[in-house]
């Protein structure tokens, strides 16, 4: 469903990590370390979701609010930018 090879490759990497976590769980019958699962799967999956959403906006809407070729937010500032836009959207 994703035509961008970079996004497709990232989805494949996340899927492979999830498969590895599942294999380790079955092999050792121990629950996974959820902090590690979040770092290896949750955060990259959320970032991929955001990138796919932006790509869909670019393709579907001529009046999209997402500018084409926008530079990505550096990872160390992503949370601050997210909070800024949440405050901005709530009128605070």
HEC-encoded secondary structure of the chain:
CCCCHHHHHHHHHHHHHHHHHHHHHHHHCCCCCHHHHHHHHHHHHHHHHHHHHHHHHHHHCCCCCCCCCCCCCCHHHHHHHHHHHHHHHHCC
**CA angle at residue 54 from 36 to 52, to 5 degrees?**
50
Model confidence, pTM: 0.58
Task: Tell me what the pLDDT averaged over the chain comes to.
Answer: 82
Residues of the chain with pLDDT under 50: 64
What is residue 29's predicted lDDT score, i.e. its pLDDT? 84
What is residue 45's predicted lDDT score, i.e. its pLDDT? 93
Question: What residues make up the domain containing 55?
Answer: 5-90
What is residue 65's predicted lDDT score, i.e. its pLDDT? 56
Q: State how many domains the chain has.
A: 1
What is residue 92's predicted lDDT score, i.e. its pLDDT? 60
């Amino acid at each position: 469903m994703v035509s961008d090879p970079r996004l497709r490759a990232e989805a494949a990497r996340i899927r492979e990590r999830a498969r590895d976590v599942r294999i380790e769980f079955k092999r050792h019958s121990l629950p996974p370390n959820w902090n590690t699962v979040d770092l290896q799967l949750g955060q990259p999956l959320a970032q991929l979701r955001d990138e796919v959403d932006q790509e869909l906006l670019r393709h579907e809407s001529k009046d999209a609010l997402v500018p084409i070729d926008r530079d990505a937010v550096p990872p160390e500032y992503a949370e601050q930018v997210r909070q800024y836009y949440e405050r901005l959207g709530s009128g605070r």
